[in-house]
Structure 1
Amino acid sequence: MNDSDTFQPEIDEQPRMPGAESEMEDKPAWQPRFPGSGRLEGKVAIVTGADSGIGRAVAALFAREGADIAIVYFADEEAEDAEKTRAIVRDEGREAICLQGDLGCREFADEVVAAALERFGRLDIVINNAGEQHPDEEIEDITEEQLRRTFQTNIFSMFFLVQAARPHLGKGSAIVNCTSVTMYKGSDNLLDYSATKGAISAFTRSLSENLISDGIRVNAVAPGPIWTPLNPYGGQPPEDMDDFGKNTPMGRPGQPNEVAPAFLFLACDDASYMSGQVLHPNGGIIVAS
């Protein structure tokens, strides 16, 4: 690792960015809302997509609960946000490293795990949160490139990171994946994204069955519309942003710090009797789980 603890691998091609939180006028709320209680004391977590949004909120909350964090983010343009997340973690009295690259590439997933082990000496929690989405009104509008890219980012990355992490996870470890309300209720303009979220839910349940005998729990969180950079920077049509989240029973979008506690619960021993399950912070939308 270099002096800045920031790892930047060689990447041949980068997908489109999810957007920078630092440029948003209406900043998402990432701040933990309650004092910590040591539920992750001494643990080490990899959190993907941790530069902003839900990932930043998860990193902040995990740090408050005692974990050191490997912050994984995608593009150079998100470096400022990633450094902000690292500062947040350090303000909570924990350590963090920033790892920049494309998790859709198996080699980078291997390098993320190696870097976390080199710095912290252990790995206890994997949070698969990174993702991308691109709205299209017609299925014919989804290009082969976009389809492959969305699956590579959203589900291939989870396979690659878990494969890299698996030899270093033992009894009591936890994996938490980020799926979506769109897996359960569908989305007429996010066809490829929703399909990946269905794959993630099936992956979560199957991986749970695969790892449960070794004492490794695998669960997922399925957020509804959450105010993060993903949506205003291309994840939703611009004309829909004024009404974003207003169709939920609560009549508003959620904030990242309203989702992060679901990840904490599933990552810590409070959920020691839960595996293969999905939590639904979605503003009151009733779905079949």
Structure 2
Amino acid sequence: MTDDPRTSQPTRFPSEPEQKRPGFETAMRTKPDHGEESYVGKGLLEGRVALVTGGDSGIGRAVAIAYAREGANVAISYLEAEQADADETKAWVEKAGRRCLLLPGDIRDRALCTELVERTVGELGRLDILVNNAAAQTTNEDLNDIDDDTMEEAFAVNVIAMVRLAKAAVPHMQPGSTIVNTTSIQAKVATENMIVYAATKGAISSLTIGLSNLLAPKGIRVNAVAPGPVWTPIQPIAKPSDKLEMLGQDTPLGRAGQPSELAPAFVLLASKEGSYISGAVIPVTGGIPMY
């Protein structure tokens, strides 16, 4: 690897097998980089506790690893089918000398959202950081391809669960706590074959601003990170192999991002380094503008 941002990570993903939802890290031919060998902590989150949804793989795993190396204990939520991926994330968190609480379940379940927070506080002692990262990605070729059940599921996972988790978390949070949401470049570009997914991500961006305004008087900051094309298990679900190979080559930097390249933004927004940042959406897009 080099320091050149155009070539510091893989630029092609040949022969990557397609997957069915929810997508598994263990099934990927080209493994994503979560910072396992590169992320170096500075103690920025020492003594804190984070709950990361979708923490088993992809961006969620990279965030969990980075937070652990910054000193935080981490709870991760994930679907039961993703247990093998979750176990690997836990191993990396514990290798950093931190506790990792595994919380399987489907966040479309209203009761589970409350349970995730209660178990985190009960077993890890507190909650300082909520990372709303789990997402259901949907695609369409035409308007008639959009299935009602799939559309409702996307909003249930990407938006409604986020509100429920925030409602459950905030009563446990002290001033200085933070919420970090994962939105997407799709909130702005809204490509024609991802209109439902884009709509959920637009809602997340607006929700981030609204929650920031609502919670600022409590001393709780709320921000979002907007990834561009990133090499995670969500990609082999949404795209055929021929398109996967070229993922990210239409960005100004000419390649897809890696989860490890998202983690520092999540650390900034969760730490004192970002103490005057609230209501922001931070693009990590390989140069694609978000105006």
**Alignment partner of 1:61 out of 61, 66, 90:** 66
Contact 1:134 1:190 in 2 (8 A): yes
What's the counterpart of residue 211 of structure 1?
215
Native 8 Å contact 1:103 1:160 kept in 2: no
Q: Which residue of 2 aligns with 1:12?
A: none
Q: Distance in 1 between matches of 2:157 and 2:251?
A: 27
* TM-score for both structures, normalised by structure 1: 0.92
**Contact persistence 1:224–1:283 (CA under 8 A):** yes
Shift of 1:235: 2.1
- How many equivalent residue pairs? 271
TM-score after normalising by structure 2: 0.91
- Pick from 46, 49, 65: which aligns with 1:44? 49
1:5 corresponds to: none
The answer to whether residue 90 in structure 2 is matched with residue 104 in structure 1 is: no
2:278 to 265, 271, 275: 275
1:113 match: 117
Match of residue 10 from structure 2: none
Retained in 2: the 8 A contact 1:73–1:99?
yes
Residue type of the partner of 2:169? A
Match of 2:137 in 1: 133
Contact 2:50 2:73 in 1 (8 A): yes
Q: Structure 1, residues 104-124: CA drift from partner, whole Å, max 9, x if none?
A: 211001110111011111000
How far apart in 2 are the matches of 1:267 and 1:82?
A: 22
Instruction: Answer yes or no: is the 8 Å Cα contact 2:180–2:222 preserved in 1.
Output: yes
Pick closer, same or farther for the CA change 1:34–1:19 going to 2, 3 Å.
closer
Q: Which amino acid letter does the alignment assign opposite residue 63 of structure 1?
A: A
Alignment root-mean-square deviation, CA:
1.1
Q: Secondary structure at the match of 1:207?
A: helix
Match of 1:161 in 2: 165
Return the match for 1:70 from 75, 80, 84: 75
Matched, 1:248 2:251: yes
- Equivalent pairs: percent with the same residue? 46
One-letter amino acid of the counterpart of residue 158, structure 1: M
- Are 1:221 and 1:278, in contact at CA under 8 Å, matched by a contact in 2? yes
Give the SS at the match of 2:227. coil
Counterpart for residue 23 of structure 2: 19
Contact kept, 8 Å, 1:222 with 1:281, in 2: the verdict is yes
* 2:273 corresponds to 1:284: no
CA distance, structure 1, for counterparts of residue 21 and residue 76 of structure 2: 17
For 2:119 and 2:25, locate their aligned partners in 1 and report how far apart those are by CA, in whole Å. Answer: 25
Name the CA distance, whole Å, in 1 between partners of 2:39 and 2:259: 14
Give ranges in structure 2 of 5+ residues lacking alignment.
1-19
Contact 2:39 2:66 in 1 (8 A): no
In 2: Cα distance, 1:107 partner to 1:197 partner: 23
Does structure 1 retain, via aligned residues, the 8 Å contact 2:223–2:280? Answer: yes
- State whether residues 176 and 220 of structure 2, in contact with CA within 8 Å, keep that contact through their aligned partners in structure 1: yes
Residue 92 of structure 1: how far off its partner (Å): 0.3
Q: What is the aligned partner in structure 2 of residue 13 from structure 1? A: none
Residue 18 of structure 1 and its aligned partner are, at CA, apart by: 2.3
Deviation at 1:237, TM superposition (A): 4.0
Distance 2:227 2:261 in 1: 10
Partner of 1:149: 153
Separation in 2, partners of 1:237, 1:154: 23
Counterpart amino acid of residue 162 in structure 2: M
AA in 1 matched with 2:130: V
